[in-house]
Amino acid sequence: MKKVNWLIERNIFDADEQFLEKLQSQGYKWKETSYLKFHSSDANQYFPEHECVLFRGTLNLGRNILRTSWIPGAYMDEKNLRCSTYYTYFGQYLLNNKYFFISLGELIRRREEILEYFSSDGDLFIRPDSNMKSFRAGVFNLKVLNTIEFLGSELKRDETTFVLVSSKKPITKEWRFFVYKNQIITGSLYLVGEERIDETIKGGYLESYLSDVLKVVKWYPESLYTVDICESEEELYVLELGSFSCSGEYGCDLSLIIEAGAKAALEDYEAVND
């Protein structure tokens, strides 16, 4: 049986060494690379063209991997992982379930209207529509950043950048789950307040909550992806979706991530090569 080849961008995720140890113990071949070393035109220096290869690393390098002939290459569907795509399906379950999609320039022009809508004295949650992390999401005060020069300088983006805007909400805990289609693979707690805590989740009310959501939504961005959920005012919400290839594992079960990655990658490879 054909096995998946793995391409690993080193020193990106905390479980870097442990992940490679799991690959070795399970008999997988892998190569290591870095963003500056990798060029899609020279991909055959790592693996032959049209091979079954699965990448783990940063979003920027993942974008280059998708320019190769490898199948699947990387699981990071940029279109489907935009908020403006998946919010359509997950809307009722989202922490930010009342929101605007708007350019930064229009956000400044309409700031008083938007602040009034959210009953805000200035603070708004702003994140890029894109999952490519063009700036760090967070709470920004539009009474202080009240011109596109100020806001654009703070975010290091221009006035055409498309963003999601919502009200400021408290978050007490955050968890990450790796998902195959609509089936949970493994999950981990990773944040309690501002404290990083990695703790594997096995069953229980968190998995039940996410399973129920996925059964109703049914849509998924691609075969493998991540779902972050959070607790706010003692309620659970979907926080965001992310890329399988480019999301940190925290305390998730690495063996289960590898197993699911290989399964999905081989399915995609065989679908193309039948």
User: Please, are residues 177 and 184 in contact by the beta-carbon 8 Å criterion?
Assistant: yes
Angle at CA of residue 203, ends 185 and 26, nearest 5°: 40
Beta bridge partners of 204: none
Q: 259 — alpha (psi -120 to 50), left (phi > 0) or beta?
A: alpha
Question: Cα torsion for 13, 17, 18, 20, to the nearest 10°?
Answer: 100
R_g of the chain, CA atoms, integer Å: 20
User: Please, are residues 246 and 64 in contact by the beta-carbon 8 Å criterion?
Assistant: no
pLDDT per residue of the chain (274 residues) written in tens, 0 to 9: 468 999 999 999 999 999 999 999 999 999 999 988 898 888 999 999 999 999 999 999 999 999 999 999 999 999 999 999 999 999 999 999 999 999 999 999 999 999 999 999 999 999 999 999 889 999 999 999 999 999 999 999 999 999 999 999 999 999 999 999 999 999 999 999 999 999 999 889 999 999 999 999 999 999 999 999 999 999 999 999 999 999 999 999 999 999 999 999 999 999 988 7
How many angstroms from the chain centroid is the CA of residue 102?
21
Task: Tell me the pTM.
Answer: 0.94
